[in-house]
Amino acid sequence: MRDAGTLQEILHSTEGRRDPYPIYAELHALGPVLTVEGPHRFQAMVHGYDAVNQLLRDPGFRVQDSDELDRLNRQWRDHPIQSMLMRSMFFMNEPRHSQLRRIFSQVFTPAGMKAFAPTIVDIVDRHLDHLAELGADGAPVDFMSEFGIKVPGDVISELMGVPKEDRAWFMPRVQAFSATIDLGVSPADVLELGDRSALELAEFFTDLLARNRKAPRNNLMTDLDRVYREAGLDDRELVAGLITFFNAGVVTTSHLFGNGIALLLGHPAAVAALAEDPGPAVGYVEEILRFEAPTHIAVRWTREDQELLGTAIPARSSVLVLVAAAGRDPSRYDRPDTFDPFRKNVRPLTFGGGPHYCLGHMLSRMEGQIGFSRLLKRFPDLSIVGTPTMLERYTMRGYGTLPVTLSA
């Protein structure tokens, strides 16, 4: 049996990016929490469901903020994309994190998300009409580029007030931004493109904020601008928050769509049930998030000595938190490596937990529930053709292309 250090290195490799699940199974056989000896990037790995759930709620396990990155390597400050990420609440600890999260929570409310559902329906239906045009007479269509990315892109754009005429320019830069957020060091060309995209997105949002202030509209950006200024925060923090929030909202949901439709099309009974009644979509989405999670990892570090389920984790340890492995934990789920859209009592940790629980989880789930049910009702004979391609990324895992036909 391979040890924890070896398995960690494999997760960093091409083999691990292509299929991490056999490695997760080996890790589960070794226990829910493992410390790693030797010169590895992470000194501990946490992958058991209960262990991940507890860690995400424990303030002793901190996100990697600017102070921790400075301790590891100050060269991150040379990159605009990393500097921008460090100004967002995604990479802040207390008390700053709670301050920024309260600001977002004032405008990003469950009631507001529920009220946004009809807009999501309209966006989904518009893209289904476009799919029908592209896929007429059995022509193959790339599901990812024509639906999987465009639907969440339009949803978050409508919510935040990004004009329709800007979205074609906008989305490639969001994708370049997300490509740099992966386990391990990004290639120089990817990081360079990410840096350039970060600067262009910052300029775009700064200009959009200025236009919005001259002619305020009813959108999330207007509301966030108001509460940020009331809190005395500067525009750089607001712009960083908008960009990272937008990026997370697009990438996570696009992979939910791609991963989900690839799984569902292998289960004709589930497709037929969903085409007839949208009710099961809630359970389907949860099982997709468990079985083929869009987000695979989180990273934490310890300022002081910690203990997790009886395992001691020393101070100044970097901790790899395998949230996708938690979804395949045999101590939590029966037959964890079987996709079962009718499975009960599914509680995926894909969106995290505790103080950093994803604010956009409800929006992403709604998009999945509405999108899958309306897609399969409209195209019950949808099928995959050709050879789909997976992005060779690990932090955010999903398809690059997914060719489909709409009719038998």
Cα(180)–Cα(187) distance, rounded to whole angstroms?
Answer: 8
Cα(211)–Cα(214) distance, rounded to whole angstroms?
Answer: 5
Contacts of 218 (CB under 8 A, 6+ apart): none
Q: Which of 326, 372, 374 is nearest to 350 (CA)?
A: 326
What pLDDT is stored for residue 172 in this prediction? 86
Helices first, then strands: H and E counts in the chain: 19, 12
What pLDDT is stored for residue 71 in this prediction? 81
List the domain range (segments joined by +) for residue 99: 4-405
- Backbone dihedral region for residue 309 (phi beyond 0: left; psi -120 to 50: alpha; all else: beta): left
Choice among 12-16, 284-288, 378-382, 384-388 with the minimum mean pLDDT: 12-16
* Percent of the chain's residues with pLDDT above 70: 99
Collapse the DSSP code of 306 into the 3-class scheme (helix H, G, I; strand E, B; otherwise coil) and give the result: strand
Question: At 21, which CATH number?
Answer: 1.10.630.10
pLDDT tens per residue across span 116-135: 999 999 999 999 999 999 99
pLDDT tens per residue across span 221-268: 999 999 988 888 888 889 998 888 888 889 999 999 999 999 999 999
Residues 198 and 176 sit within 8 Å (Cβ to Cβ): no
Residues 148 and 258 sit within 8 Å (Cβ to Cβ): yes
Total domain count for the chain? 1
What pLDDT is stored for residue 408 in this prediction? 64
pTM above 0.85, yes or no: yes
